Amino acid sequence: MPVTRRAIMVSVLGLTLMSATSVLAKRGRSHDDYDHDYEAADSARRSGEVWPLQEILDEIERQIPGEVVGIEFERKQGVWVYEIKKLTQSGQYVEIYVDAGSKQILKIEGK
């Protein structure tokens, strides 16, 4: 089965998120905090509370084409939010905040 560029990017993003987690852990958060964050996020995805990352990325790509250079996933004011960092086709850096439960774009910075 051929490996697509998207599959490679998703793998690289996963590794990037894992690296970011280890760096942040050294900044004072305990390993238990990260376990809890991961478990809560995974539970939200499995229960249908949030859309899978790939579906969010597909939707964002249709609206704002470009290369994903970073992703964060966190709970803000009771809402799960994907923060997707992209370089647009014109080379502009943007941060796109997406409600993970509705796929609605909440805010775009840098555009």
Task: Please tell me the predicted confidence (pLDDT) of residue 44.
Answer: 84
Domain spans of the chain, in order of start: 5-109
CA distance 26 to 80: 24
Topology of domain 5-109 in CATH is Nuclear Transport Factor 2; Chain: A, (3.10.450)
DSSP string, 11-32: HHHHHHHHHHHHHHHTTT--HH
Q: Which residue has the higher pLDDT, 29 or 67?
A: 67
pTM tops 0.75: no
State the average pLDDT for the chain: 79
Cα separations in angstroms, 9 against 41, 49, 68: 21, 25, 8
- Name the nearest CA neighbour of 76 among 54, 97, 51: 97
Give the highest mean pLDDT range of 34-43, 45-54, 68-77, 87-96.
87-96
- Name the nearest CA neighbour of 71 among 7, 10, 4: 10
